Amino acid sequence: MRRMMMRAMLGAACLGLGVGAEAAEKLKVLIIEGQNNHSWETTTPILKEALEKSGRFEASVARTPPAKAPASAWDSFRPEFKAFDVVLTNYNGEPWPAPVREALEGYVAGGGGLVVMHAANNAFPEWPAYNEMIGLGWRDAAFGDRVTVDDSGNVVRTPRGDGPGSGHGPRHAYTVDVRNAEHPITKGLPSKWTHAVDELYHGQRGPARNMEVLATAFSDEAQGGTGTNEPLLWTVAFGEGRVAVNVMGHAWGDDVGPIEAPDFRALIVRAAEWAATGAVTVPVPDDFPTVAK
Ligand code: ZN
C-alpha cells in the first residue's frame, strides 16, 4: 500500500515536472509597436492577450521611439530578433536604423517567423527586403504587380501600372473565402465566414514572389471596391523563413472591433504558430464565426 502511495506521489511529481517542461516550451513572440497610423496603444494589448491566452505563447513587446524623435533615440532600439521564435509587427512608421533592418532580414532569411498585420504592410516601401518579405504592400499601382483571385479560384497576376493601386472603401462586414484549406493556418476553419465590420484592402502591390494566397474577400464595387477577390491572408517564403500577412484588423482609438473579432484573434495565433514552427496545434475556437444568415 505504502509503495503504491509512493508510486502515486512519484507519478504526481513527474506530472508536475511535465507541466513545468511544457511551460518552458512556450513559443516566444515579439510584438513590435511604437508608431502607426492606427492605434497601436489599444491593439497591442489585445494581440498579446490573444497569443498568451492560447497557451502556446509567451509574448514580449518592443517599442520604437515616437515619430520625429532625435536620431539618437533610436540607438537603444535594437530588438534581439534571434531570441524569439516569431516576430509580429504592429508597426507602420519611420524607417528603422540599418542595423535593425539587417537584423530582421537575417533573422527571417535564417528561418525566423514574421507576422504582419493590417497597416504594418503599409510600412517601409523603400526597404527592398521588406517588400520581398511581405509580398504585397500598400503601394501605388506603379510600384509592383497585383495579385487577385478569380471566381474559379485561379490566381490572377496584374502587371505593375495596370489596374488600381492600394485603397479601401468604407468599412463593412464581408465574407472571407478560404482559398487553401490544406494550409496549417486555414486547415479546419470554415470554408467561408463573415468577418467583422473592417476595412477591405484592395490593389496591394509588390514583388509577390514565393507567395501563397490563403484567403480572399470579394471587393464589391458597391462598397468602393474593385469587383474582384482581393487577398486578405497570405504567406511568403523568404529564405528559410516563413512570413504570414493578414491585412484585416483596422482599429482606431477605442474602436478595436476588428481586432477583437474571434476570427482575427484566432488567425493571429495560428499565423504566429505557423510562422514560428511550420505547424499549427492550437484548436479552432468555438466562437469562430460562420457565414451570417
Ligand atoms: Zn486601417
What pLDDT, in 10s, does the model give residues 155-175? Answer: 999 999 999 999 999 999 999
CA of 252 to the centre of ligand 1 (A): 8
Residue 105 CA to ligand 1 center (angstroms) comes to: 25
124 Cα–ligand 1 center, Å: 16
Residue 17 has a pLDDT of: 45
Q: What whole-number distance in Å separates Cα of residue 122 and Cα of residue 36? A: 10
21 CA to centre of ligand 1 in angstroms:
40
> Residues whose CB is under 5 A from ligand 1 (ion)?
199, 250
Taking only the tens place, the pLDDT of each residue in 95-106 is 999 999 999 999
Rounded to the nearest angstrom, the distance between the alpha carbon of 175 and the centre of ligand 1 is 18
The alpha carbon of 6 and the centre of ligand 1 are apart by a number of angstroms equal to 60
38 CA distance to ligand 1 centroid (A)?
6
CA of residue 198 to ligand 1 center, whole Å: 8
C-alpha cell at 11: 507519478
pLDDT one-digit tens code per residue, 57-74: 999 999 999 999 999 999
Give the pLDDT band (50/70/90) at residue 3.
low
4 CA to centre of ligand 1 in angstroms = 62
Cα(23) to centroid(ligand 1), Å: 35
**For residue 199, how far is its CA from the centre of ligand 1 (angstroms)?**
6
* 137 Cα to the center of ligand 1, angstroms: 13
Q: Which pLDDT tens digit goes with each residue over 35-57? A: 999 999 999 999 999 999 999 99
pLDDT digits (tens, 9 = 90+) for 252-266: 988 999 999 999 999
**Environment class of 257 (CB within 10 Å of its CB; exposed 0-12, middle 13-18, buried 19+):** middle
Query: For position 12, what pLDDT does the model report?
Result: 44
CA of 219 to the centre of ligand 1 (A): 16
Q: How far is the CA of 251 from the centre of ligand 1 (A)?
A: 6
CA of 8 from ligand 1 middle (Å) equals 56
Sequence-distant (≥ 6) Cβ neighbours of residue 245 within 8 angstroms: 115, 116, 117, 121, 134, 135, 136, 233, 234, 235, 236
How many A from CA of 39 to the centre of ligand 1?
A: 9
**Cα separation values, 256 from 85, 253, 271, Å:** 27, 7, 20
Per-residue model confidence (pLDDT) at position 174: 98
What is the whole-number distance in angstroms between the Cα of residue 12 and the centre of ligand 1? Answer: 50
For residue range 21-37, list pLDDT tens digits in order: 444 589 999 999 999 99
Q: Say if CB 158 and CB 256 are below 8 A apart.
A: no
pLDDT at 292 (0 to 100): 75
What Å distances lie between residue 182 and 60, 92, 190, 240, CA to CA?
30, 31, 12, 21
CB 146 within 8 Å of CB 204: yes
* Among the listed residues 191, 185, 202, the one whose alpha carbon sits nearest the alpha carbon of residue 264: 185
CATH number of 2-277: 3.40.50.880
